[in-house]
Amino acid sequence: MTSGSVTGPGTGEDEPRLVVRLEDVRKEYGDHHALNGVSLEIRSGEAVAVMGPSGCGKSTLLNMVAGLDRPTSGRVTVHGEDLTGLNETGLALFRRRRIGMVFQFFNLLDDLSALDNVALAAQLTGTPARQARRRAQELLDELGIADRRNAFPAVLSGGERQRVAVARALMNRPALLLADEPTGALDSHSGEQVMDLLLDLNQIGQTLLLVTHDPRLATRCANRVVDLADGRVVGERSLERAG
């Protein structure tokens, strides 16, 4: 697939900017430690994969970065904004402008068409419906599912749904694209397609943070892997990507 206008910010700078910074982040659920002092930095244009066994805190980490959940202690800074200082509304506005999210189970609205699901993200920021649909149409075009734009999620395949979800995540040109097991619910063929899509996006400058326990996804899309175990970073490696 080709990708022209699907560009995130941060391209073409001499010194890659810091997009994400976690400082000694801890998260406790009762007396269970989901995150046990995680520090991590992600620079603009990077594609970072977080890996580790089930229950090690990967999703929790991603939620911290997305502002979907608050750390028990530590600090989360994304695109220069300290998330710990934001209230619920501030976090919502932050997600709108800076973050795109893709989930394992797509999370599309069942009663909106593919096109309207994608347009929704822009409409929330106050973009008029017509303009939002035009941009959604462009994105669906670029992701190769323009012909399915009027279909409802219930009749789309898993791969198609995930591509709609990616389009929605890109709608507001986010500084950071977050993906939690984006291929986890897909068969291998659809999984491949989504991997290609993510890779393409990163290659045109989109900063990526993926959570996965699929080594193929990591090696294919990421240029850095962070290994997590029991809520701690236990290793980091840089990768020469296959693509």
Partner 1 sequence: MRAVWQAARAAVRRRRLQTSVIALVVLVSTMTIVVALGLLDAASAPFDRAFARQQGAQLTATFDTARVDAAQLAATAHAAGVVASAGPFAQAVATLDRPVTINDAGPVTVVGRADPGGPVDRVNLWAGHWATGPGEVVFSSPPGIGGEGRRSALGAQITLSGVRFTVVGLASSVSRTADAWVAPDQMAALHPSSAQMLYRFAHAADDRETAGDLAAVTGSLPPGALTASQSYLSLEQRAEHTPSAFVPFLMVFGVLGLLVAALIVGNVVSGAVVSGFRHIGVLKALGFTPNQVVAVYLVMVSVPALVGCVLGTVLGDLAEQPLLRQIFNGVDGTELGDSVGLSPWVDLVALLGVPALVLLAALLPSLRARALPAARAISAGSAQRTGRALRIQRRLTGSPLPRSVSLGLGLPFARPGRSLLTLAAVVLGVTTVTFSTGLASTVTAFGTAAEGGGAYQVVVNAGRADVGMTPPTHTAAQIGPLLSGLPGARQVTPSAYVPVRLPGVAQGMNLLAYQGLSSDLGTLVVDGRWFDGPGEIVVSPGFLTLHAAAVGDRLTLATAGRTEQVTIVGETLTGDPDYVSTDWSTATALDPAVTPRQFLVKLAPGTDAAAYQRAVRAADPGLHPSGKDTVNAGAMTAVGSASVLSLLLGTVAALGVFNTVVLNARERRRDLGMLKSIGMTPRQVTAMMVTSMAALGLAGGAVGVPLGMLAHRLILPVTGQAGGIDFPASMREVWHPGNLALLALSGVALAALGALIPSRSAARVTIAKVLHNE
Ligand X SMILES: Nc1ncnc2c1ncn2[C@@H]1O[C@H](COP(=O)(O)OP(=O)(O)OP(=O)(O)O)[C@@H](O)[C@H]1O
In the complex, minimum distance from the CB of residue 58 to partner 1, in angstroms, rounded to a whole number:
10
Distance CA(59)–CA(213), nearest Å, equals 11
Total of chain residues touching partner 1, rule CB under 8 A: 45
Distance CA(161)–CA(152), nearest Å, equals 9
Q: Which does 112 bind (CB under 5 to 8 A by kind): partner 1, Mg ion, ligand X, none?
A: partner 1
Query: What x-and-dash track marks residues 94-113 binding partner 1 by CB under 8 A?
Result: xxxx-xxx-xxx-xxxxxxx
Strand partners, 165: none
Q: Which does 168 bind (CB under 5 to 8 A by kind): partner 1, ligand X, Mg ion, none?
A: partner 1
Two tokens at 94? 């932050």
Q: Which does 44 bind (CB under 5 to 8 A by kind): partner 1, ligand X, Mg ion, none?
A: none
Q: Tell me, what DSSP letter sits at residue 87?
A: -
Closer residue to ligand X, CB minimum distance, 9 or 57 = 57
Q: Which of residues 1-30 bind ligand X (CB under 6 A)?
A: 29
Distance CA(176)–CA(8), nearest Å, equals 8
Counts of helices then strands in the chain (DSSP H, E): 7, 10
- The two beta strands, 224-229 and 47-51, are parallel
The yes or no reply on residue 129 touching partner 1 (CB under 8 A) is yes
Q: Which of residues 53-92 bind partner 1 (CB under 8 A)?
A: 59-60, 63, 66, 68-69, 88-89, 92
Considering only CA atoms, which of 174, 179, 163 is closest in space to residue 211? Answer: 179
Residues binding ligand X (CB under 6 A): 29, 32, 34, 54-60, 213
